[in-house]
Amino acid sequence: MSVIQVHDKKFQPYIGEQQLQERIREISAALSNDLKGKKPLFIAILNGSFMFAADVFKNLTIEAEISFIKLVSYKGTKSTGNVVTSIGLDEDLYGRTVVILEDIVDTGKTLSQFLPQLEHQQPEKLLIASLLTKPEAMKYPIKIDYLGFSVPNKFLLGYGLDYDGLGRNLPEIYQLVE
């Protein structure tokens, strides 16, 4: 692994593939242990979480379902402010154990707007698993129940995370060289 260029920027290796996979196996083991018998529904938030979601899901040793959604943010009226809606959520969450899968929680804004909509459906439990979080960037505190890595507030790339559309396919995570 060495410095790579994507579009106009340079990125250096930050979290290696083996370290990622080890941490994900630990998260899947914890989820499998904590949610045994619950037949949880995992909801992966696209686009960024697709790799994390696939790796978490294939390491589970319990019965579980998965669904993939996109969050769309648009400008509401003056009184509603910004509005977040989801595309693709067909499942009924009532009484279910639900685990949201995110690649990264940074400001927490989108999730803080979206979670109440899920709560409204009265799941038995609503848990959050995120590969990454940037505590320095968090403006809308979100409680992350299963966390991969806490990282500084610098731009990351790879393993699902993109820079203007590119880099999602990288099997490890890179950090912007400033």
Contacts with ligand HPA by CB under 6 A lie at: 104, 106, 155-157, 161-162
> Which of 106, 145, 162, 164 does the annotation list as catalytic?
106
123 versus 160: smaller Cβ distance to ligand HPA: 160
Q: How far is the CB of 154 from ligand HPA (least distance, A)?
A: 7
Q: Is 19 exposed, middle or buried (0-12, 13-18, 19+ CB in 10 A)?
A: middle
36 versus 70: smaller Cβ distance to Mg ion: 70
DSSP-based three-state secondary structure for 10:
strand
Q: With CB cut-offs between 5 and 8 Å by kind, which of ligand HPA, Mg ion, none does residue 6 bind?
A: none
162 versus 172: smaller Cβ distance to Mg ion: 162
Q: How far is the CB of 94 from ligand HPA (least distance, A)?
A: 31
Using CA atoms of 36, 25, 10, 111 in order, give the dihedral in degrees to the nearest 10: 10
Continuous H helices in the chain: 17-34, 50-58, 109-119
55 has catalytic annotation: no
Q: Which of left, alpha, beta for 24 (phi over 0: left; psi -120 to 50: alpha)?
A: alpha
Catalytically active residues are: 106
